[in-house]
Chain A
Amino acid sequence: MDLIEFLSYGFIQRALIAGSLISVLCAVLGVVLVLRRLSMIGDGLSHVTFGGVALAMALNFYPLAVSLPIVVLSSFGILKMMEKARVFGDAAIAVVSSIGIAIGILLASISGGFNVDLFSYLFGNILSISTLEIAAAVVISLMVLAAIYFYFDEIFSITFDEEFARASGIPVDRINAVMMMLTAVTVVLTMKVVGIMLTSALLVIPAVTAFQNARGFRNAIIIASISSLLSLVAGVFISFALNLPAGATIVMVNVFLFCGAFLFRHFFGSHAAE
Chain B
Amino acid sequence: MPLTIVEARDLSVAFDGRQVLSGVNFSIRQGDYIGLVGPNGSGKSTLIKCMLGLIRSSHGAISLFGSAPVEMKNRERIGYLPQRMDFFNPRFPTTVTEVISQGLIATRRAGKSSGREEIEKVIELLDLLGLRNRLIGELSGGQQQRVIIARALVNEPDFLILDEPTSALDPEVRESFFELLHELNEKKRATIVLVTHDIGGVGQYATKLMYLDKKVIFFGGFDEFCHSENMASFFGSASQHIICHKH
Interface residues, chain A, CB within 8 Å of chain B?
A: 35, 153-154, 156-157, 160-161, 163-170, 210-211, 214-220, 270
Contacts of B73 in A (CB 8 A): 169
Which B78-93 residues have a C-beta within 8 angstroms of A? 78, 80, 82, 87-89, 91-93
Closest approach, in angstroms, between the C-beta of B135 and any C-beta of chain A? 7
Contacts of A157 in B (CB 8 A): 102, 105
Contacts of B135 in A (CB 8 A): 215-216
The chain B residue sitting closest to A36, CB to CB, is B89
**Is A215 in contact with B93, judged by CB distance below 8 angstroms?**
yes
The chain A residue sitting closest to B110, CB to CB, is A169
**Is B106 in contact with A218, judged by CB distance below 8 angstroms?**
no
Asked, given contacts A161-B88, A217-B94, whether A167 binds B102 with beta carbons under 8 Å apart, the answer is no
B239 on interface, CB distance cutoff 8 Å: no
Closest approach, in angstroms, between the C-beta of A23 and any C-beta of chain B? 20
**Is B102 in contact with A156, judged by CB distance below 8 angstroms?**
yes
The chain A residue sitting closest to B54, CB to CB, is A166
**Is B75 in contact with A169, judged by CB distance below 8 angstroms?**
yes
Which among A161, A168, A220, A270 is the interface contact of B106 at CB below 8 angstroms?
A: A168
Asked, given contacts A167-B52, A168-B106, whether A160 binds B93 with beta carbons under 8 Å apart, the answer is no
Which among A35, A156, A164, A165 is the interface contact of B98 at CB below 8 angstroms?
A: A156
**Is B98 in contact with A218, judged by CB distance below 8 angstroms?**
yes
B204 on interface, CB distance cutoff 8 Å: no
**Is A163 in contact with B92, judged by CB distance below 8 angstroms?**
no
**Is A219 in contact with B102, judged by CB distance below 8 angstroms?**
no
Which B92-128 residues have a C-beta within 8 angstroms of A? 92-95, 98-99, 101-103, 105-106, 108-109
Interface residues, chain B, CB within 8 Å of chain A?
A: 52-54, 72-73, 75, 78, 80, 82, 87-89, 91-95, 98-99, 101-103, 105-106, 108-109, 133, 135, 138, 151
Which among B54, B89, B95 is the interface contact of A216 at CB below 8 angstroms?
A: B95
The chain B residue sitting closest to A220, CB to CB, is B93
Which among A161, A163, A164, A211 is the interface contact of B93 at CB below 8 angstroms?
A: A211
Contacts of A220 in B (CB 8 A): 93
Closest approach, in angstroms, between the C-beta of A118 and any C-beta of chain B? 39
**Is A169 in contact with B88, judged by CB distance below 8 angstroms?**
no
The chain A residue sitting closest to B101, CB to CB, is A153
**How many angstroms from the CA of A38 to the CA of B109 in the assembled complex?**
27
Contacts of A163 in B (CB 8 A): 54, 82, 87
**How many angstroms from the CA of A167 to the CA of B108 in the assembled complex?**
15
The 10 closest A-B pairs by CB, nearest first: A169-B75, A214-B93, A167-B80, A216-B95, A220-B93, A168-B106, A217-B94, A167-B52, A168-B105, A157-B102
Contacts of B52 in A (CB 8 A): 166-167
**Is A216 in contact with B102, judged by CB distance below 8 angstroms?**
no
**Is A160 in contact with B138, judged by CB distance below 8 angstroms?**
no
Contacts of B91 in A (CB 8 A): 211
Contacts of B133 in A (CB 8 A): 215-216
Contacts of A211 in B (CB 8 A): 91, 93
**How many angstroms from the CA of A210 to the CA of B53 in the assembled complex?**
36
The chain A residue sitting closest to B109, CB to CB, is A169
- Point out which of A167, A211, A220 has the most chain B C-beta atoms below 10 A from its C-beta: A167
**Is A169 in contact with B95, judged by CB distance below 8 angstroms?**
no
Contacts of B151 in A (CB 8 A): 164
**How many angstroms from the CA of A170 to the CA of B89 in the assembled complex?**
21
**Is A216 in contact with B93, judged by CB distance below 8 angstroms?**
yes
The chain B residue sitting closest to A217, CB to CB, is B94
**Is B93 in contact with A210, judged by CB distance below 8 angstroms?**
yes
**Is A153 in contact with B92, judged by CB distance below 8 angstroms?**
no
**How many angstroms from the CA of A154 to the CA of B95 in the assembled complex?**
16
**How many angstroms from the CA of A131 to the CA of B136 in the assembled complex?**
46
**How many angstroms from the CA of A76 to the CA of B162 in the assembled complex?**
34
**Is A160 in contact with B102, judged by CB distance below 8 angstroms?**
yes
Contacts of B54 in A (CB 8 A): 163, 166-167
**How many angstroms from the CA of A160 to the CA of B102 in the assembled complex?**
9
Closest approach, in angstroms, between the C-beta of B142 and any C-beta of chain A? 19
Can you pick out 22 interface pairs between chain A and chain B where the beta carbons lie within 8 Å of each other? Answer: A35-B89, A153-B101, A153-B102, A153-B108, A156-B102, A161-B82, A163-B87, A164-B80, A164-B82, A166-B54, A167-B75, A167-B80, A168-B103, A169-B109, A170-B105, A170-B109, A210-B93, A214-B93, A216-B93, A216-B95, A216-B133, A217-B93
